[in-house]
Amino acid sequence: MKNDTAYIRELAGLAPIIPVLVVDDVAHAIPLAEALVRGGLPVLEVTLRTKAALEVITAMTSVEGQIGFQPFTDADLVTAQDVTAAVAAGSTFGVTPGSPTFLIDACLEAGLPLLPGAATATEAMTLQARGFEVLKFFPAEGAGGIKTLKGLGGPLPGISFCPTGGVTPENALDYLALPNVVCAGGSWIAPSSLVKAGKWNEIEERARHASALSR
């Protein structure tokens, strides 16, 4: 059982944006992942909000990245059962919206590297005490956004965040400019409407723009 912070730090450093995906149809998994990887975003967050989500993760793990690595797929975990299912589906890491003890324990038990969610100083400190140094800041805008992250940076300089929830093309650069932000997550790169319509070129273009955002 280990908390693989170095691996999560490496993944979080691969691209400035992690696209958050809601995919209804497994047939969309491969062309979607290919478009995102071509656009420069190899780390993908597949939410477990659809019946097809686990099959989508499995399908996406077969997609090769242009620069020689596979896309890193993760699942949005809420229950201990989600952890088991996500690992079986081939997830290479997990993301949680919050960090109840049972869920962190389940991920550690499963050996699943984790980007755990935190929205407050207490949550961040509790996770840091368990060895997690890269956290999802969620819901970013609802939890105070840039002001809160700046505030947390003073007393908790050892923690890096991936703000997600309300990050947009308009505010992403402001988040990425913070010293304690390593990357950000967002759904605007591949919203369900574009995925359902099979607009892979447009998704690739959005990914290219997002991958060029500087940190």
Stretch 139-178 residues interacting with ligand 3PG (CB under 6 A):
164-167
73 SS3 class: strand
Tell me, residue by residue from 20 to 59, as one string, x for binding to ligand 3PG by CB under 6 A and - for no binding: x---------------------------------------
Nearest one of 11, 63, 54, 59 to 36, comparing CA atoms: 63
CA 204 to chain centre: 18
Q: Which of 71, 116, 163, 186 forms a contact with ligand 3PG (CB under 6 A)?
A: 186
Distance spanning both ends of the chain, measured CA to CA: 32
Tell me the closest approach of the beta carbon of residue 158 to ligand 3PG, in angstroms: 24
Q: Give buried/exposed letters for 15-39 (b at 16+ CB in 10 A, else e).
A: bbbbbbbbbeebebbeebbbbbbbb
136 an active-site residue? yes
Looking at the Cβ atoms of 68 and 170, the one nearer to ligand 3PG is 170
Looking at the Cβ atoms of 19 and 40, the one nearer to ligand 3PG is 19
Looking at the Cβ atoms of 108 and 210, the one nearer to ligand 3PG is 210
Looking at the Cβ atoms of 166 and 198, the one nearer to ligand 3PG is 166
Q: Which helix (H) or strand (E) holds 117?
A: strand 117-118
- What residues make contact with ligand 3PG under the rule CB under 6 A? 20, 164-167, 186-187
